[in-house]
């Protein structure tokens, strides 16, 4: 079997890596905060002191980090994967980062004979724990075919969407859809409450019709219950929206709905709600309407 390196063991990375282990792959892990490696070591993984060292022991190296700068650091930075990976190996970046930065990283890896897939995910921590993530992969089709069994250990819907950078582009499309739909759910709930309609009944009446969505079915009830515990944090959503807006600006493409949601989430961050779940968006609309 392919030897796997896994770098980045946060809320998403830890359960994803556990699924790779459960599928029988030999895994070497690295995380900047070493204590987060412990659950994986107990499950049978080996530890590496640097991304370079993890790559030296792997045929396929998976990264799941927070932002573009983090991905650049662990892949092409000092002691990064590029310095330890052998020609013919593959880097699968499953983070959500800039499409243009992805293409730059892939080009640097290719100079050393290392292939790359950008394969960001959707489905949140619950999808990571269940192994049912949607995975959008960009890169060469033969590389995708080689890595598909590994991706199938972590996800349920795995789609090859084109060359390098297209996985990240598909993920940003996903985040635009998620964020703008979340805003629609917030507006509908605020409208229902202001009009005197029981918001729970509104959700029940609409969730299985043409207006139904994951956000309505899953985040709507949390908004009603005032449950703002994070499944996906506002701060992370804002990071993704920033990437979407930057990429849209590069293309000279207006995205007014995305821009508006970004501003509403900015008001949540200004109120210290950045580490709450994205359902906290409703609080921004409530403040505009002067009700809670």
The tokens for 292 are 């809670």
| Alpha helix stretches (DSSP H) within 35-159 | 38-42, 51-56, 68-76, 99-111, 124-130, 141-152
**Contacts of residue 17, Cβ cutoff 8 Å, sequence gap at least 6:** 6, 9, 27, 29, 40, 45, 62
Torsion sign over Cα 151, 155, 160, 161: negative
- The answer to whether the beta carbons of residues 62 and 92 sit under 8 Å apart is yes
Cα 137 from Cα 169, distance rounded (Å)? 10
Out of 141, 171, 194, 271, the active site residue is: 171
Tell me, what DSSP letter sits at residue 278?
Answer: G
Clarify whether 141 is annotated catalytic.
Answer: no
Which amino acids are annotated catalytic?
Answer: 171
């Amino acid at each position: 079997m392919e030897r796997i390196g896994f770098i980045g063991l946060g809320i998403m990375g830890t359960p994803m890596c556990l699924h790779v282990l459960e599928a029988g792959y030999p895994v070497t892990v690295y995380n900047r905060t070493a204590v987060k490696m412990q659950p994986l070591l107990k499950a049978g993984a080996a530890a590496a002191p640097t991304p370079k060292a993890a790559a030296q022991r792997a045929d396929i190296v998976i990264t799941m980090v927070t932002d573009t700068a983090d991905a650049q650091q662990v892949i092409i930075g000092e002691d990064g994967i590029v310095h330890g990976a052998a020609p013919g190996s593959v880097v699968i970046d499953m983070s959500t980062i800039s499409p243009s930065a992805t293409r730059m990283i892939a080009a640097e890896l290719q100079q050393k004979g290392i292939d790359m897939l950008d394969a960001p995910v959707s489905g949140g921590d619950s999808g990571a724990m269940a192994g049912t993530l949607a995975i959008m992969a960009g890169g060469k089709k033969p590389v995708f075919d080689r890595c598909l069994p590994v991706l199938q250990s972590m996800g349920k819907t795995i789609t090859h969407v084109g060359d390098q950078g297209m996985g990240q582009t598909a993920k940003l499309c996903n985040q635009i859809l998620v964020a703008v739909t979340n805003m629609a759910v917030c507006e509908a709930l605020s409208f229902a409450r202001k009009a005197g309609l029981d918001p729970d009944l509104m959700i029940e009446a609409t969730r299985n019709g043409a207006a139904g969505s994951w956000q309505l079915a899953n985040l709507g009830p949390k908004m009603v219950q005032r449950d703002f515990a994070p499944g996906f944090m506002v701060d992370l959503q804002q990071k993704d929206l920033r990437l979407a807006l930057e990429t849209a600006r590069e293309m000279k493409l207006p995205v007014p709905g995305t821009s508006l949601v970004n501003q509403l989430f900015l008001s949540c961050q200004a109120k210290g709600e950045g580490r709450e779940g994205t359902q906290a968006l409703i609080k921004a609309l409530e403040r505009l309407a002067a009700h809670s």
